[in-house]
Amino acid sequence: MFSLVFLVLLLCKSHGLVSGLNSEGSALLSFKQSIYQDPEGSLGNWNSSDENPCSWNGITCKDQKVVSVSIPKGELYGFLPSVLGSLSDLRHVNLRSNRFYGSLPAELFEAKGLQSLVLYGNSLSGSLPNEFWKLKYLQNLDFSQNFFNGSLPTSIVQCKRLKTLDLSQNNFTGSLPQGFGTGLVSLEKLNLSFNKFNGSIPSDMGNLSSLQGTVDLSHNHFYGSIPATLGNLPEKVYIDLTYNNLSGPIPQNGALMNRGPTAFIGNPGLCGPPLKNPCSSGTPDASSPSSFPFLPNNSPSQDSDNSGKGEKERGLSKSAVIAIIVSDVIGICLIALLFSYCYSRVCACGKDKDENGYGFEKGRKEMRECLCFRRDESETLSENVEQHDLVPLDTQLAFDLDELLKASAFVLGKSGIGIVYKVVLEDGLTLAVRRLGEGGSQRFKEFQTEVEAIGKLRHPNLVTLRAYYWSAEEKLLIYDYISNGSLASALHGKPGMVSFTPLSWSLRLKIIKGIAKGLVYLHEFSPKKYVHGDLKPSNVLLGHNMEPHISDFGLASLAHIAGGSPTLQSSRIPTEKTQDKQQKITSSEVAMVTLSTNLGSYYQAPEALKVVKPSQKWDVYSYGVILLEMISGRSPVVQVGTSEMELVLWIELCIEEQKPLLDVLDPNLVPDVDKEEEIIAVLKIAMACVQTSPERRPTMRHILDVLNRLAVSSD
């Protein structure tokens, strides 16, 4: 009987404690229940024994009412419950850089006083609710770096007070809603980059007079012409339209004037300044209100009786003008034919070699190419530029420019930073030559300083730069040729290849350690303590004994100085217009280049797209993704059912679900399952490297120390 009374009292006491917590506290406890993992203990003091939640971590109250829920970078893993919308006085929600997944509940918009909703850096997906019209006071909306899809709700244009709209790095589709420019009149920051938005750019965007900084519409599928009204934006605004499907002339007014070509690259259909490709005569001038040129008899005569006299006074007749134009065209064509003939004579170098059997048989997929490096000894350069012969960076260099120009060559690959050729000299020496293209004739001294600094780097796990050539029309980098292709091909095979020999675990571990050694040298022992910035399997080449050689370090800087357009954001796909018209490439090579460029962004650290100054921790993150790829045998994007998931997130999910190692392991490594301890040790290193926070990633020196302690005999 006593026990029964005690139990009743205990239950009553417990009930009293729960009932003591107000309704907002109960709602937040429901939110806590939707969190499956809280490794940082961010919600550790959220207790039902409190009267209200105002003393809880991340909670701010005013007059005992919750006005802010802010738990950034807490690694919270769970979903967003609808109960947050019941917090009637809620003004600010900041849950950035966590691991929330699932959809955004429409009930959240019942908190009609919301001013700031920041959810970037999570794994949220699905389409956005259409209840934005309820958020009349919303000023800051940041959903970047998630997996949201679908079109942008039309009701968002009713958020008249919205100042920041960042939807970058999602999967949004469709066109921007009607009234986008006239509705969001308070907008100061706009970033829609790295999505799949399509349709035309709204002409009313020119009404967003409060915009500041960069208006980023890059890496989408916008098509049609650039509306001239964009020039009405404040002149200090930088408009980034790169990598869309825009076409036609670039308007030359207001904020669109005096912009370099970097704001428009990746749109093959665009023409006119500041791009080099001129608009055709039939293309209307975007800066002119009329699409028809003025001819004398376009204007009505003032006196029909004096029409002949007036025509003479006004100038040439229409037929005379047409005759002049036709003669000019014929003259230009003759000059072009003459130039083509002379150029073909210069380009005969490699063809003769091939006809004499100095090349590859017709059945090979690799296309033989003539390098056609033009060198006009009589060409006059700017007084600020020096004309050079081949400049050696190695005292043992045993060839000159003439030998290089006469060599047989074929394409290894091409990207946004030029074409790479395999060149075989007459004495059998094989080299890799990267052609940076034409343009940029004013910065030789800067190029010389940078290229010679790179040429001094010597390490067994780096590709050695042997020489370079600079002229107004050609910039060449000459490297050692690495014989066994890239790590990407070794892991996944080449396009069209039926079968290939997979790498054993001992070879993979050898490569893993070699890459680490090369990065440690770049980070700590090179004179400038380089950051590679674009590390991925296609940039790791394998030598005769499968030793890794890191390539392309410092390349972006050289391409920029040389006047090229480096494209390290790997989702940028190179176009034929960026290459020499004589260039040929097989479909297999195109597939490999496209695959590499499309997947490259998944190797980049999350902060690389937001921070301008490169950090060595960028390379650490990229290295971690490469390790995961070598362990799992999967690409950086994993197909899960009908959807796609980043490899990093997929591995994290497998670990959380405590799946066995065999579920994660590359099937080709099953024979090496006895090396489980080593594989798990490397997996732990990889997971440390891909931490979202750069500060939590180890240094390459620490990584190499851990690898060296593994009991292996692969070196």
**C-alpha span between 127 and 323 (Å, rounded):** 60
Contact 368, 408 (CB under 8 A): yes
Asked whether 192 and 168 are in contact (CB, 8 A), the reply is yes
Cα 108 to Cα 84, 88, 131: the distances in Å are: 6, 10, 9
What distance in Å separates the CA atoms of residue 355 and residue 216, rounded to the nearest whole number? 51
The residue written with tokens 């014989």 in the block is: 483
Continuous segment of H or E residues that includes residue 559: helix 555-561
Which of 142, 204, 480, 534 is catalytic? The answer is: 534
The per-residue b/e assignment along 575-589, b for 16 or more CB within 10 angstroms, e otherwise, is eeebbbeeeebbeeb
Cα 437 from Cα 580, distance rounded (Å): 8
- E strand residue ranges, 12-134: 35-37, 59-62, 65-70, 77-79, 92-94, 99-102, 116-118, 123-126
For the question of residue 328 being annotated catalytic, the response is no
* DSSP state string for 340-366: HHHHHHHTHHHHHHHHTT-S--TTSSS
DSSP 424-438: E-TTS-EEEEEE--S
Assess contact for 137 and 158: CB atoms under 8 A.
Answer: no
CA-nearest of 266, 275, 245 to 574 is 266
- Cα separation, 170 vs 104, whole angstroms: 14
Burial 361-400 (b: 16+ CB within 10 A, else e): eeeeeeebbbbbbeeeeeeeeeeebeeeebbbbeeeeebe
Longest C-alpha distance within the chain, in Å?
127
- Which of 436, 407, 411 is CA-nearest to residue 422? 411
**CA atoms of 43 and 40, how far apart (whole Å):** 8
Phi (first) and psi of residue 641, to 5 degrees: 65, -125
Write down how long the chain is: 715
Beta-carbon contacts of residue 525 (< 8 Å; ≥ 6 apart)? none
CB of 69 closer than 8 Å to CB of 29: no
Q: Pull the structure tokens for residue 312.
A: 């003479």
**CA-based nearest residue to 399, from 354, 429, 355, 361:** 429
What is the dihedral sign for C-alpha 651, 656, 661, 667?
A: negative
What string of H, E and C letters represents the secondary structure of 462-525? ECCEEEEEECCCCEEEEEECCCCCEHHHHHHCCCCCCCCCCCCHHHHHHHHHHHHHHHHHHHHH
C-alpha 626/C-alpha 620 separation (Å) is 10
In the structure, how many helices (H) and strands (E) does the chain have?
17, 30
> Which ranges of 233-347 does DSSP label H, i.e. alpha helix?
307-314, 318-346
Name the DSSP class of 149.
E
Active-site residues, by number, are: 534
